[in-house]
Amino acid sequence: AQSVTQLDSQVPVFEEAPVELRCNYSSSVSVYLFWYVQYPNQGLQLLLKYLSGSTLVESINGFEAEFNKSQTSFHLRKPSVHISDTAEYFCAVSYSGAGSYQLTFGKGTKLSVIP
């Protein structure tokens, strides 16, 4: 069965400091990778995704993630966080083949930005 591991359940970080949220997935031939963000009392919003091509993908608000096939990772990074980045972040994967529409999520990482 497919699985996604987000090792850090909570990450506190000071404002303007860099942050990395880690995500590892179980190996498969072909994967599609997603990061979703969930602000309090809101639904999941797509932050960025990797489908193919360049292994480095970026979001409009300064986040980036790099697909590393050899390490089966898709870590999320931001060089300088803002208070408004406080939210819960979910890594998700879908796989090619039958049932590929199913998203498998990690347990989430709560990012707390400290002023």
Positions touching other proteins (CB under 8 A) are 4, 6, 9, 32, 34, 36, 41-46, 49, 51, 90, 92, 94-96, 99-108
Tokens of 2: 């497919």
Min separation Cβ 89 and other proteins, Å:
11
- CB-nearer residue toward other proteins: 12 or 79: 12
Compare residues 101 and 115 and give the one whose CB is closer to other proteins. Answer: 101
Interacting residues of 42 by C-beta distance below 8 A, sequence separation 6+: none
Handedness of CA 92, 96, 99, 100 (dihedral sign): positive
